[in-house]
Structure 1
Amino acid sequence: MVMRPISYGRQYISQEDIDAVVETLQSDFLTQGPKVKEFEERFAEYVGSKYAIAVSNGTAALHLCTMAMNVQKGDKVITTPLTFAASANCIRYCDGEVDFVDIDPHTYLMDLDKLEEKLASVPVGTYKGVIPVDFAGYPINVERLRSIANKYKLWIIEDACHAPGGYFEDSQKVQQKCGNGAYADLHIFSFHPVKHIATGEGGMITTNNKELYEKICLLRTHGITKDPELLNENHGGWYYEMQELGYNYRLSDIQAALGVSQLERANEGVRKRNEIALKYNEAFKESKITTPFVHDNTLHAYHLYVIQIEDRKGLYNHLRENNIFSQVLYSPVHLQPYYKKFGWKKGDLPVVEKYYENCLALPMFPTLSIDEQNYVIEKIKEFIDE
């Protein structure tokens, strides 16, 4: 059976998406128009937050959040080593100091026991904040993290780029959807093509804090405002003021139109991803492959389906030879050459380092067909049965 190339992730652009973009292209606004506001309002409704701010990408979202939390030179902020580099880089953009906490060996999320141990070993106030990551789409228990953060006076920016639509049940048995603002100060999302919602490039910040919302809106657009209620003086309808040193981190109406259209099938996409994951789980349950852990009270959003296998490189190469392009995600951030300059070295975070030796992300996207998934499973079994 000859298959088209099967990648680990793939965007799906429907005719409805194309029509939505064309309609915007023919409208009066290509940027700074009504579609951005519509996307923000609909996304806030989707995750259950009070406010949402659309931005140019997920990295911009992280940078704006660290600026909003007033990260300054020398401020220490904790994140996970199992993430894309931007989750740590945003701290460095503000001249802060990055510290890492190792991952839980089952969930692959930041180990909250180890986080608490680190915080308990130093005076309260040593660290300013924490940036957890919902790796692969698995939501971290932000309720417990909030309790720890309150004890040690930390703010929380939740990197939920992998997890729109995911949730966990808190101690009151309430489903807490990623990004709803119930426990974290800020949440960020990405709309890169392999993510759940694709806008080409793009991102979103959600919060329930009006003060943070207004500050980020200002920083997103050069630090400039025309809002009469915020101006120090007003010369007329044309007048604006630059009140902060901000950036051009705006999303265009073209991208927002695509985002609004994609959002219409976001729930269906998460449902389909879970269906694909269930089939993988069943296929590999009696094998030497370790499949993703999921707690009963959690809805995994499955941006990624990551397995652990001893001969990772062998399987990776075998799949490529058969037109299946799996991916290794991620190389631990603390071992990147840039962060090694700050003294990080192999052996510092043994759990994530062991994870990296054996991890492999298999094809996972809503339009993965039954035949394609069967082919992937067949080729993996072919390799492990050799």
Structure 2
Amino acid sequence: MNVIADHPSKQLTSGQADLIRNEAPEAEKISQLTPKQLGLIYDQRWFNAYIPKELGGLELSLPKIVKLEEALSWADGSLGWTMTLCSGAAFFAGYLDKQLAAEIFSDKKTILAGSGASTGTADITDDGFIVNGNWLYASGILHATHLTANCIIRKNNIVQKNEDGSDMIRSFIFRKEEATILPGWNYMGLKATGSHWYEVRNLTVPKNRMFCIDPEHATDQNIIFNYPFLQLAEATLVANFSGMAIHFLELAEVCVQSKNNLSNAKSKYIDGKKEQLLNDFNIHRGSFFKALDASWNELETRKPITEETLKNVSTTSRKLAHSALKLVDDLYPFCGMQAANSDSEINRVWRDIHTASQHSLLTFPFN
């Protein structure tokens, strides 16, 4: 029996959803979230969804975070994506030096942004590291107070190796003023994420600002920091696809209903197509949330999550992402010229989900 997951609107009040959507056109225009949108996020502490309560965070479970991210992306793709990526960067608090984490998150308006690419180098010194590099697509960087980045570790200009022979890569955290923002976010969708580039040059970094994103190196005992980062990333990203697809579907229904010149045969054809696409989407959405819940339940029993369970999270994430895109693409031709109008809401959602689809993590049906 297929269980249909709750509509994402259940995660937000109507006032919250309305504020986010009413501000979305202005956010797109200025290419960043608006003060009212940011104020809501600060008030609700959504950027700190993973952060332990002792540091002022919400300390939510992963399934609750994913449902929240789906809801925010249903309200607006750019806001949902920014919250997902910035709260995901703040997830690294569980691997930071505890004193450093307490200092950083003592400010209730702390926001972390970053990039997962290992496009920097960190040269070992007696006191720490000298970091150089540039990183692309740091969503939310215009609002950030701190930045995270991955670097290849070197000593005397020689790349250090892990036990398996692979390059040693570690993560670092900087204050935003230690980096230079490089304007580079000029893409058709997710405009309000302001996902610009950044660089650092010959930056001296103390040892306690290096961390390793691995459960064995977690500095906080909350079980969420034992959840494998790959599946966490897959789950949180696909929540955005799902939320945006549901938003598009609702707007598409309005567009189709506004057409007065459709014959009964054409109306029935569109209804049948929509029913088929929605049924497929709901099956994959339900399977995804079931797989995510199963993985979290295993973790809560303090047992390692099995490889089979993790594979199921990865597989259902990808199937849901592809189903969400198919839903949008197959309904788009029936929406009329309003869907092609760059000033319309439905066009913004279409642009947002297709920009999100270029993230490489969920492109293929396997990891």
The alignment's TM-score, normalised by the length of structure 1, stands at 0.23
Bigger helix share: 2
The alignment's TM-score, normalised by the length of structure 2, stands at 0.24
Q: Which has the higher contact order (CA 8 A, sep 6+)?
A: 1
